[in-house]
């Protein structure tokens, strides 16, 4: 069977099942509107570690362990961990994989990582190469700020277009067999660059890639937007969400009734977060919390999950480059 | 069909074919013993660009284009690019993917990236999700030195255990159909950490992961080392190679007659490179040059290609962490 559809999309012949999922978030995310849906809200964003980087890898490891526990699968029964994070050389995911001892494939897709890991995890399972896989990612406000922006101690003023990196992790355990929500297919993104240079406006940099991936997904599959009860984007924030709606409208797709952006929803307007939440852990924790808990409930049977990443580095920006971005999509269904 | 063998290995039911491959290296690599096997040796390691980082992405892009050309497949016929590199946020691969416009999945596996991309590329093809995939990676001496070590201008003295990052890129185009060398299976590594702290001794940090992956591959498949005409490691260098031979001897596997380490072979002892070559581009360029050109020749029909990566970051080392490592393996066969 050819599981390639159109130019960028794939379909799973034996859709992998969501056997377990989990989310952990930081204190500020735990004061937001989705607070009630996370498995755990931490009080101390150092997790008792002596650096924020070490705290981030504890978040990653614990979310993965929690998802495995809920799936009732022990470490030694797992075939694979697949994931990554925002830190240089993805040390969060790699060190978590060291601690858990499960075979590991490391990804880098910036904030698109959760969708990339679910895509590749589903490919491994549907292809017959694995039966149980943990897909995960994490981010931490205090590690991202100092790596990508400025030392926290400087107390710099933020641009109104800036988003706040979510402190949080999300994990999904995929299995070949069982009951639950299923992953039915997905779309692999291309790197799109509209020439945005402003590193404080990631929503604008990512919007064209998201619009491209969503429209390719709909075209490749022959779907109208109404096929999905909800189309979820990762962390466009308020500016990027508006741009995506416009870009899709230009292509003839009206998503205004069904677009849910995790970056817009994780914080409330009173939380002083400018354009919204961001970070690989943003859509991952919302997926492993609010979204998967509600999937299969009333009016929520089909969901397209589209995570996007800005593929810049500090060096590429310092060398005058624009900000390329990518978005990957995976489709979920639940009865 | 269950394509999972043992705990970490997989086997391809319809082995993907090597449709094309290419390699480009820098001036110093072009003076080494394998010089005659590369497709191109550049004179100017800036490639005419105004930064070494920009030069590195030209290497990546050109190697990929050259492999596609040799495979006689145009950009718009490619289903996927899959790869990564050593730079923060894998900007080399991401910007190359932007330039080529092919759907892209980004990986981070440090110097294990070439094997990781071949593994996942083969999974995509054997699973029926793609028909033509470009797997590639690159590294550059001058970008790696300044990102991981010290500014080149300091002219620091090197430790005798240090390796020199190869300036080079290698690409392999995999296809579902056609003639040529085939990828028959592989082994996904676990992250192994023996507590090595010395960032100038990557060979020692990676050797335990390489020994683990090779032995798991042989055990999962029920192979003796003699099954392979050659077992190739990525960039252990002279110290790491000796350690791997010892670690495998302890497990009952004698590889002394068939272990070929790209890091030991790419430079000669007269080239003042201390413990040998390293970098993601080391084994990638040797694979896309010497190794694939000789596969299928006399006495070279089965090759296990094992690339290993040290999963540290500058930050993890500064925070007192040891150096975890991973190794992935893919098996090639040619009549």
pLDDT in tens, B129-175: 999 999 999 999 999 999 999 888 988 888 999 999 999 999 999 99
C-alpha to C-alpha distance for B174 and B197, rounded to whole angstroms = 38
DSSP SS3 for A230: strand
Pairing of strands A302-310, A325-333: antiparallel
CB-nearest to B80 from A102, A188, A313 is A188
Given this model, what pLDDT does residue A243 score?
98
pTM, two decimal places: 0.98
C-alpha to C-alpha distance for B285 and B307, rounded to whole angstroms = 12
Given this model, what pLDDT does residue A92 score?
98
Residue of chain A minimizing CA distance to B50: A319
C-alpha to C-alpha distance for A144 and B91, rounded to whole angstroms = 17
Given this model, what pLDDT does residue A155 score?
87
Q: Backbone phi, then psi, for B27, in 5-degree steps?
A: -60, -40
Smallest Cα distance from A221 to chain B, Å: 14
Given this model, what pLDDT does residue A143 score?
97
CB-nearest to B311 from A80, A94, A110 is A94
A contacts of B312 (beta carbons < 8 Å): 89, 91
CB-nearest to B98 from A84, A106, A193 is A193
Query: pLDDT tens, A79-91?
Result: 999 999 999 999 9
CB-nearest to A324 from B95, B130, B324 is B95
Q: What whole-number percentage of chain B has pLDDT above 70?
A: 100
A contacts of B104 (beta carbons < 8 Å): 188-191, 326
Dmax (CA) for chain A in angstroms is 57
Q: How distant, in Å, are the alpha carbons of A5, A225, A332, B244, B270 from that of A219?
A: 10, 10, 18, 51, 58
| Per-residue tokens: A2 | 């050819």
Contact between chains at A103 and B2 (C-beta distance less than 8 A):
no
Give the containing element (helix H, strand E) for A309.
Answer: strand A302-310
Q: What is the mean pLDDT of chain B?
A: 97
Contact between chains at B106 and A107 (C-beta distance less than 8 A):
yes
| Per-residue tokens: B183 | 């990828």
DSSP SS3 for A42: coil
CB A137 within 8 A of CB A117: yes
DSSP SS3 for A294: helix
Contact between chains at B190 and A101 (C-beta distance less than 8 A):
yes
Pairing of strands B9-11, B182-187: antiparallel
C-alpha to C-alpha distance for A304 and A314, rounded to whole angstroms = 31
Q: What whole-number percentage of chain A has pLDDT above 70?
A: 100
C-alpha to C-alpha distance for A122 and A182, rounded to whole angstroms = 10
Query: Residue A18 forms beta bridges with which residues?
Result: A174
On the question of pLDDT at B5 being above 70, the answer is yes
Query: pLDDT tens, A153-198?
Result: 988 888 999 999 999 999 999 999 999 999 999 999 999 999 999 9
Q: Which residues, including other chains, have CB under 8 Å from residue A34's CB and lie 6 or more apart?
A: A265, A266, A286, A289, A290
State the burial class of residue B179 (Cβ atoms within 10 Å of its Cβ: 0-12, 13-18, 19+): exposed
C-alpha to C-alpha distance for B271 and B254, rounded to whole angstroms = 30
C-alpha to C-alpha distance for B3 and B13, rounded to whole angstroms = 7
Confidence of residue A150 (pLDDT cuts 50, 70, 90): confident
Smallest Cα distance from A98 to chain B, Å: 5
Contact between chains at A104 and B326 (C-beta distance less than 8 A):
yes
Which residue, among B54, B83, B108, B328, would best test binding to A if mutated, counting the most A CBs under 10 Å from its CB?
B108
CA pseudo-torsion sign A179, A180, A186, A191:
negative
On the question of pLDDT at B126 being above 80, the answer is yes
Across A16-20, A266-270, A316-320, B2-6, least confident range? B2-6
Contact between chains at B127 and A131 (C-beta distance less than 8 A):
no
Q: What is the mean pLDDT of chain A?
A: 97
Q: Which residues, including other chains, have CB under 8 Å from residue B63's CB and lie 6 or more apart?
A: B22, B23, B24, B39, B136, B138, B169, B170, B171, B284, B285, B288
Which residue, among B91, B101, B132, B217, would best test binding to A if mutated, counting the most A CBs under 10 Å from its CB?
B91
Contact between chains at B103 and A8 (C-beta distance less than 8 A):
yes
Q: What angle do CA B89, A16, A179 make, to 5 degrees?
A: 135
On the question of pLDDT at B212 being above 70, the answer is yes
Smallest Cα distance from B37 to chain A, Å: 30
Given this model, what pLDDT does residue A1 score?
59
Given this model, what pLDDT does residue A84 score?
98
Q: What whole-number percentage of chain B has pLDDT above 90?
A: 95
Q: Which of B24, B193, B202 is nearest to B111 (CA)?
A: B202
Smallest Cα distance from A33 to chain B, Å: 31
CB-nearest to B129 from A4, A91, A131 is A4
C-alpha to C-alpha distance for A286 and A289, rounded to whole angstroms = 5
CB-nearest to A188 from B4, B105, B127 is B105
Q: Backbone phi, then psi, for B230, in 5-degree steps?
A: -145, 135
On the question of pLDDT at A246 being above 90, the answer is yes
Given this model, what pLDDT does residue A300 score?
96
B contacts of A13 (beta carbons < 8 Å): 128
Q: Which of B208, B214, B176 is nearest to B305 (CA)?
A: B214
Give the A:B interface size as CB pairs under 8 Å: 191
Contact between chains at B103 and A313 (C-beta distance less than 8 A):
no
| Secondary structure of chain B in HEC code, one letter for each residue | CCCEECCCEEECCCCCEEEEEEEEECCCHHHCCCHHHCCEECCCCCCCCCCHHHHHHHHHHHHHHHHHHHHCCCHHHCCEEEEEECCHHHHHHHHHHHHHCCCEEEECCHHHHHHHHHHHHHHHHHCCCCCEEEEEEEECHHHHHHHHCCCHHHCCCCCCCCCEECCEEEEEEEECCCCCCEEEEEECCCCECCCCCCCCCHHHHHHHHHHHHHHHHHHHHCCCHHHCCEEEECCCHHHHHHHHHHHHHHCCCCCCCCEEEHHHHCCCHHHCCCCCEECHHHHHHHHHHHHHHHCCCCCCCEEEEEEEEECCCHHHHHCCCCCCEEEEEEEEECC
B contacts of A80 (beta carbons < 8 Å): 188
C-alpha to C-alpha distance for B247 and A222, rounded to whole angstroms = 55
Pairing of strands A325-333, B259-261: unpaired
Average confidence (pLDDT) over B188-197: 97
Q: Backbone phi, then psi, for B143, in 5-degree steps?
A: -80, -40
Given this model, what pLDDT does residue A6 score?
82
φ/ψ bin of A6: left (φ > 0), alpha (ψ from -120 to 50), beta (otherwise)? left
Q: Backbone phi, then psi, for B174, in 5-degree steps?
A: -100, 145
Query: pLDDT tens, A115-132?
Result: 999 999 999 999 999 999
Q: Backbone phi, then psi, for A187, in 5-degree steps?
A: -135, 130
| Per-residue tokens: B225 | 């080392």
Could you tell me how far CA A43 lies from the centroid of its own chain?
A: 23
Average confidence (pLDDT) over B177-197: 97
ipTM greater than 0.85, yes or no?
yes
Given this model, what pLDDT does residue A156 score?
86
Smallest Cα distance from A270 to chain B, Å: 32
Which residue, among B105, B117, B134, B279, would best test binding to A if mutated, counting the most A CBs under 10 Å from its CB?
B105
Query: pLDDT tens, B96-121?
Result: 999 999 999 999 999 999 999 999 99
Contact between chains at B188 and A103 (C-beta distance less than 8 A):
yes
Q: What angle do CA B60, A308, A107 make, to 5 degrees?
A: 50
A contacts of B316 (beta carbons < 8 Å): 53, 89, 91, 95
Query: pLDDT tens, B260-276?
Result: 999 999 999 999 998 99
Q: Which residues, including other chains, have CB under 8 Å from residue B210's CB and lie 6 or more apart?
A: B233, B236, B240, B244, B306, B308, B325, B327
B contacts of A120 (beta carbons < 8 Å): 105, 120
């Amino acid at each position: 069977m050819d599981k390639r559809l159109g130019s960028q999309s794939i379909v799973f012949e034996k859709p992998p099942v969501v056997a377990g999922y989990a989310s952990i978030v930081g204190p500020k995310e735990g004061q937001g509107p989705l607070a009630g849906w996370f498995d755990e809200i931490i009080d101390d964003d150092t997790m008792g570690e002596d650096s924020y980087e070490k705290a981030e890898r504890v978040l990653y490891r614990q979310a993965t362990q929690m998802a495995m526990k809920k799936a009732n699968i022990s470490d030694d029964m797992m075939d694979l961990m697949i994931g990554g994070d925002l830190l240089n050389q993805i040390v969060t995911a790699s060190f978590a994989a060291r601690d858990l001892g499960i075979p590991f494939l490391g990804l880098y897709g910036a904030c698109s990582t959760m969708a990339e890991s679910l895509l590749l995890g589903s490919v491994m399972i549907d292809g017959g190469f694995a039966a149980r896989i943990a897909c995960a990612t994490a981010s931490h406000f205090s590690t991202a700020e100092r790596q990508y922006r400025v030392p926290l101690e400087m107390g710099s003023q933020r641009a109104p277009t800036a988003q706040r990196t979510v402190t949080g992790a999300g994990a999904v355990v995929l299995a070949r067999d069982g009951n639950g929500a299923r992953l039915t297919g997905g779309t692999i993104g291309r790197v799109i660059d509209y020439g945005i240079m402003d590193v404080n406006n990631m929503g604008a940099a990512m919007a064209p890639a998201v619009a491209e991936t969503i429209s390719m997904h709909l075209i490749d599959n022959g779907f109208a937007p109404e096929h999905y009860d909800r189309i979820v984007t990762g962390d466009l924030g308020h500016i990027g969400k508006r741009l995506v709606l416009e870009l899709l409208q230009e292509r003839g797709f009206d998503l205004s009734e069904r677009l849910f952006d995790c970056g817009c929803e994780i914080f409330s307007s009173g939380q002083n977060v400018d354009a919204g939440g961001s970070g690989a852990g943003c859509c991952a924790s919302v997926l492993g919390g609010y979204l998967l808990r509600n999937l299969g409930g009333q009016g929520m049977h089909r969901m397209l999950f589209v995570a996007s990443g800005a593929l810049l580095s500090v060096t590429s920006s310092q060398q005058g480059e624009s900000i390329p971005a990518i978005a990957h999509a995976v489709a979920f269904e639940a009865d």
